[in-house]
């Protein structure tokens, strides 16, 4: 049905109308978006005509039931064939109810809650007229200098794949073509955008195809296997060819090998950037290369609308390529039901009930608490409600708690850290002072902080990065806290009082100057709309920290890239042995400050009675493993039981650890639960030098425990 209607429609369209479907313009182009509704500002230089606008296929960044309905209505009045617009926006970790940034969400290891957050985001977005979200972003990353690590779920391909699937399920539900409370998802940025040299955004990415397939591609594939509707191309080059003009990546791999037949959209301006890359001579060449490589929609640049018609007329490209792209776009509109109801779920009345509702905020509070990671705690947390607290630092009352890509989340509405404390203790027990700005400090600020802490039993430092110090184009070469805040920590440490640091940041930081000066560190990331409530819940023990790092915290930026699934090298350091000619630094350790999978709790857990069904795995005989996990402490809490393997010898070298399974379990004090895992031959497959993806018979170790470093080792063998 869908193909038939859309293909009929394509045949009725003029070439100009077809080409206009292939451009995506921002909201201010469209009538109904603003009073003028006309093309304004720098965009005029793009030479986008009114005809193009009234025939264009989709809108970037419009949301709000009233706005989207008025744009759609005005558009349908002008559009000869009544082809509705698609509305696409960046709903990355919430629409107005903002959840923790995805790097934080990943640290929850809670796939259900992540899915729930995407379902809520979809519901708020859909009722506000959004049809497609440019999420999940699944770019694997090993370099915290890169600002967009906050948008990823970290350094592991298996975990990133699990979260990619969970988010697609949340956005799209069982069937978004039948459920108007869902939106279509768009996985990005294809491919390997998370591996820019030097951690500098948009920079060169260069790696073997084997590395690409082993680490960087799995999460995109997982999203598409879960039914993700769209793909967005990346800004970077890959093996010398820009991803957005890369035929091998899109037509050969994405469409041929993976069988993806949905819509591919370029990232903002990436088609025209083929010129800057030195891959296209001019806009016309860029248009030809982009379309031939497989980009259906050109976001925010006019190469397609300016040159595709000429390219067809001169025989440089076949009109069938354009028809294919248009057909995919119309099919997506069909799937979303836009031909029957171009306003889909947009509804001003429902919008008021659904958006930022109490239940949504409650879910955000729960996920924020589960996403925070307790990195250090030497006897100071949880706080006692009787204590007098000095809340010191630029984030004590700061509203920058939502993080980058927080759509229409309101910073004013976010629960501030001080408000969180006020909900737990009497205001007479609480003093607070800024102590410093984010990146500047004065002696009077320090003095005010000292005075504020004078009578306190405990000092809670609220420190971190502004949200624009990470996110897109937010790369930092120095990943410590700003000097001003390190000075504040130093000055407060001279008071010799118990100190807790709570961190609000979008990347793993070099925590020297903090972790060595305080008694406890809680990594809160950008927790979202319920930041202050979640932080207070954790600090007072109403929630027990259960986050586990999904990206290593480096000892220093000099270690970067540092990641847990690394290779051994031919000269590995021997634990505790000082020798020169091994793979090491003269001035810092090889190990990260905090490893992948690490996180503390207010209780403790023990692992015992590991049983393996066999010491041998065969293709038809998986290995079943059980382990007893006991809460050996005084309070209930979650433990994330992690299963890793190591392939001792491979046709190519194999990493020291690979995450193959995890289970987050709740244990009451003294409670023991048996946790079971199954390990199959399929999970031991890897990309060989000839790119075949298979397992090899041989010896393996498996590791079961609390993180990638602290886990018990067992041996098994694969027989084929």
CA 409 to CA 152: how far, in whole Å?
19
Dihedral sign for Cα 82, 232, 163, 557, please: negative
Query: Which of 635, 579, 562, 580 lies closest to 602, judged by CA?
Result: 635
CA 454 to CA 476: how far, in whole Å?
35
Q: Considering the complex, state which of residue 135 and residue 180 has its C-beta at the smaller distance from ligand GLC.
A: 135
What are the residues whose beta carbons fall under 8 Å from the beta carbon of 574, sequence distance 6 or more?
Answer: 582
Can you give the binding site for ligand GLC, defined by CB under 6 A? 90, 134, 188, 267-268, 472
Q: Considering the complex, state which of residue 250 and residue 381 has its C-beta at the smaller distance from ligand GLC.
A: 250
Residue 147 CB, nearest approach to ligand GLC (Å): 11
Residue 453 CB, nearest approach to ligand GLC (Å): 42
Query: Which of 188, 166, 164, 173 lies closest to 335, judged by CA?
Result: 173
- Residue 649 CA, distance from chain mean position: 33
**DSSP per-residue codes, 109-152:** T-HHHHHHHHHHHHHHHHHTT--EE---B------TTSGGGGGS
Q: Phi/psi at 574 (nearest 5 deg)?
A: -95, 130
CA 619 to CA 464: how far, in whole Å?
49
Q: Is 267 a catalytic residue?
A: yes
Partner residues linked to 712 by β-bridges: 704
Catalytic residue from among 267, 347, 400, 537: 267
Q: What does the DSSP 8-state code read for residue 717?
A: E
CA 335 to CA 612: how far, in whole Å?
47
Residue 87 CB, nearest approach to ligand GLC (Å): 13
Query: Which of 46, 8, 10, 7 lies closest to 28, judged by CA?
Result: 46
Residue 26 CB, nearest approach to ligand GLC (Å): 9
- Residue 357 CA, distance from chain mean position: 24
Helix (H, G, I), strand (E, B) or coil at 484: helix
- Residue 515 CA, distance from chain mean position: 26
Pair of tokens at residue 508: 């793993």
Residues noted as catalytic: 267
């Amino acid at each position: 049905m869908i193909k038939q209607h859309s293909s009929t429609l394509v045949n009725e369209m003029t070439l100009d109308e077809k080409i206009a479907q292939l451009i995506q313009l921002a909201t201010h182009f469209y009538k109904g978006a603003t009073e003028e509704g006309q093309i304004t500002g720098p965009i005029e230089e793009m030479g986008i005509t009114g005809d193009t606008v009234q025939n264009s296929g989709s809108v970037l960044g419009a949301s709000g039931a009233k706005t989207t309905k008025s744009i759609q209505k005005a558009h349908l009045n002008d559009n000869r064939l009544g082809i509705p617009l698609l509305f696409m926006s960046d709903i990355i970790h919430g629409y107005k109810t903002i959840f923790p940034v995805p790097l934080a969400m990943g640290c929850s290891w809670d796939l259900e809650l992540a899915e729930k957050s995407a379902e809520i985001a979809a519901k708020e977005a859909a009722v506000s007229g959004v049809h497609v979200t440019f999420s999940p972003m699944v770019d694997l990353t090993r370099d915290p200098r890169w600002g967009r690590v906050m948008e990823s779920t970290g350094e592991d391909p298996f975990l990133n794949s699990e979260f990619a699937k969970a988010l697609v399920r949340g956005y799209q539900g069982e069937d978004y073509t039948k459920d108007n409370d869902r939106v279509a998802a768009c996985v990005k940025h294809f491919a390997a955008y998370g591996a820019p040299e030097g951690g500098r955004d948009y920079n060169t990415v260069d790696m073997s195809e084997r590395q690409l397939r082993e680490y960087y591609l799995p999460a995109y594939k997982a999203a598409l296997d879960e039914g993700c509707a769209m793909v967005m191309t990346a800004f970077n080059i890959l093996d010398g060819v820009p991803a957005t003009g890369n035929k091998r990546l899109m037509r050969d791999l994405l469409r041929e090998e993976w069988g993806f037949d949905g819509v591919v959209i370029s990232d903002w301006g990436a088609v025209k950037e083929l010129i800057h890359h030195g891959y296209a001579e001019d806009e016309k060449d860029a248009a030809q290369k982009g379309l031939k490589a497989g980009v259906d929609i050109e976001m925010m640049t006019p190469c397609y609308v300016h040159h595709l018609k000429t390219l067809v007329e001169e025989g440089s490209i076949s009109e069938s390529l354009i028809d294919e792209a248009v057909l995919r776009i119309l099919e997506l509109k069909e799937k979303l039901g836009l031909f029957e109801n171009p306003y889909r779920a947009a509804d001003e009345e429902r919008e008021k009930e659904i958006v930022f509702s109490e239940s949504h905020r409650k879910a955000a509070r729960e996920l924020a608490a589960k996403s925070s990671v307790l990195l250090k705690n030497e006897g100071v947390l949880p706080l006692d409600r009787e204590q007098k607290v000095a809340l010191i630092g630029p984030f004590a009352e700061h509203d920058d708690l939502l993080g980058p890509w927080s759509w229409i989340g309101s910073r004013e509405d976010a629960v501030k850290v001080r408000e969180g404390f006020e909900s737990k203790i009497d205001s007479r027990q609480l003093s607070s002072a800024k102590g410093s700005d984010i990146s500047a400090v004065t002696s009077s600020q320090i003095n005010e902080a000292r005075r504020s802490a004078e009578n306190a039993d405990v000092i809670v430092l609220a420190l971190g990065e502004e949200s624009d110090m990470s996110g897109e184009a937010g790369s930092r070469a120095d990943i410590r806290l700003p000097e001003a805040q390190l000075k504040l920590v130093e000055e407060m440490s001279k008071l010799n009082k118990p100190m807790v640091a709570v961190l609000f940041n979008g990347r793993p930081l070099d925590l020297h100057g903090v972790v060595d000066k305080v008694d406890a560190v809680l990594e809160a990331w950008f927790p979202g709309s319920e930041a202050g409530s979640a932080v207070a819940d954790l600090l007072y023990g109403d929630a027990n920290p259960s986050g586990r790092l999904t990206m290593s915290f480096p000892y220093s930026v000099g270690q970067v890239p540092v990641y847990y699934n690394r290779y051994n090298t031919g000269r590995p350091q021997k634990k505790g042995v000082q020798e020169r000619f091994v793979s090491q630094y003269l001035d810092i350790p090889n190990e990260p400050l905090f490893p992948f999978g690490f996180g503390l709790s207010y209780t403790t857990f023990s692992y015992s009675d590991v049983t393996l069904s066999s010491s041998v795995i065969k293709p038809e005989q998986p290995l079943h493993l059980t382990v007893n996990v006991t809460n050996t402490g005084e309070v209930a809490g979650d433990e994330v039981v992690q299963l890793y393997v190591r392939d001792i010898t491979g046709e190519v070298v194999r990493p020291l650890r690979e995450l193959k399974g995890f289970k987050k379990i709740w244990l009451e004090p003294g409670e023991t639960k048996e946790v079971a895992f199954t390990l199959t031959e399929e999970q031991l497959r890897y990309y060989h030098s000839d790119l075949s993806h298979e397992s090899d018979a041989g010896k393996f170790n498996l590791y079961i425990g609390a993180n990638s470093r602290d886990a018990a080792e067992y041996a098994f063998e694969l027989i084929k």
